[in-house]
Amino acid sequence: MRSIREYQQGGLGNLFTAYAIVTAPVIWSTAAGTGGPLLWNSPTSGVNAYLLAVTFGLSVASTVAGAIGITGNNGQTVAPTATTAIDASGSGYVAGAAPACTLYRVGTPASPGSFFFPVGLVHTGAITVDTTDDNWVDLGGVFIVSPGKWAAVAASATLTSAVMQIGLIWAEVPT
């Protein structure tokens, strides 16, 4: 259940969404090809990004079992390198302003993730008999990406051959 504060943030145009189609999400402990979506908060953004929810689907089965989750780190004073454009991103307030944070489908941050928080499983079963049920995970703003930091959806192991559709919702609040 969402709090009135989140609805107020939505009404102010401070809620944003990103969508990425990721092939073989990489393990959280490597920097190269991190993401899906990868959110970078520039040192000059003037906002904190509060991660509110993540959602995911699987359209091609993985040959490696693992978990999907959140990672991130600091020390990102310039944009990540080797980036791929995000598939979709925008305001939750229809026709609202663009986010202050920058989104990528994947990229290479200055350093690998410093933590991993699992939110769901990815198994090796055929997608026609998939057992995954609720792929909406309420993060409740627990992860805060302040200026000069990044966060991304990543995996507990490189999910070889998996093709995933991953969504991220966050609020941007002035610092």
> Mean pLDDT by 10-residue block, N- to C-terminus, for the chain (175 residues)?
57 89 97 96 98 94 95 97 97 92 98 97 84 80 97 97 96 94
Range of the domain at 132: 4-174
The predicted pLDDT at position 2 comes to 53
pLDDT of residue 9: 67
pTM of the model: 0.93
Total structural domains in the chain?
A: 1
Report residue 44 CA to chain centroid gap.
21
The residues facing 167 across adjacent strands are: 19, 55
Give the C-alpha separation, 106 to 1, whole Å: 30
CA angle (7 as vertex; 134, 172 as ends), nearest 5: 90
Q: Look at the alpha carbons of 10, 50, 57, 104 in this order and tell me if their dihedral is positive or negative.
A: positive
pLDDT of residue 127: 82
pLDDT for residue 110:
97
Helix (H) or strand (E) holding 62: none
